Amino acid sequence: MSDFWILLTGSLVAACCGIVGVFLVLRKMAMIGDAISHSVMPGIVIAFLISGSRDSLLMMFAALAFGLLTTFLIGMFQRSGIQSDASIGVVFTALFAIGVILVSLFARQVHLDQDAILYGEIAFVHWNLWEIGGVNLGPKAVWLLGVTLLIIGLVIGLFYKQFKLCAFDPALAAAIGIPVALFHYLLMGLVSMATVSSFESVGAILVVGMLIIPASTAYLLTDRLGVMIALSIVVGVVSTFIGYGASIVLDASIAGCIIVAAGLLFVATFLLSPSHGLVSRKLRQRKLAAEAASGTRTA
Summarize pLDDT for 105-152 with one digit per residue, the tens. 776 555 555 555 555 667 777 777 766 777 777 777 788 889 899 999
Q: What is the pLDDT of residue 153?
A: 94
- The residue ranges of the chain whose pLDDT is under 70 are 1, 52-57, 107-121, 130-131, 199-205, 290-299
Q: What does residue 139 show for φ and ψ, rounded to 5 degrees? A: -60, 140
d(CA 285, CA 299): 21
Residue pair 33/211 in contact by the 8 Å Cβ criterion: yes
